[in-house]
Amino acid sequence: MWQTLLPALALMLVLEGLLPLLLPKVWRETFSRLITFSDGQLRFVGLVSILAGMLLMATLV
């Protein structure tokens, strides 16, 4: 399990770092918008992210 989980985590960190590296102004604006979201809106964003990730994994396996 760790042979799959650690590379997946590493790839996630690389992808998460691309936006602040390449477009810091866009990343900052996006992050400041997220701060103003209500708890329900943030939960919805998290749910959509989880579902998108699960769908992507299901299509790759």
pLDDT digits 0-9 by tens, 3-14? 888 998 999 999
Q: How far apart are CA 15 and CA 9, in angstroms?
A: 10
pTM of the model: 0.70
Q: What is the mean pLDDT of residues 20-36?
A: 94
pLDDT computed for residue 4 by the predictor: 87
Q: How confident is the model at residue 60 (pLDDT cuts 50, 70, 90)?
A: confident
For residue 61, pLDDT beyond 80: no
Supply angle C-alpha 19, 23, 24, rounded to 5: 90
Classify the C-alpha dihedral 45-51-56-61 as positive or negative: positive
Query: What's the pLDDT score for residue 45?
Result: 94
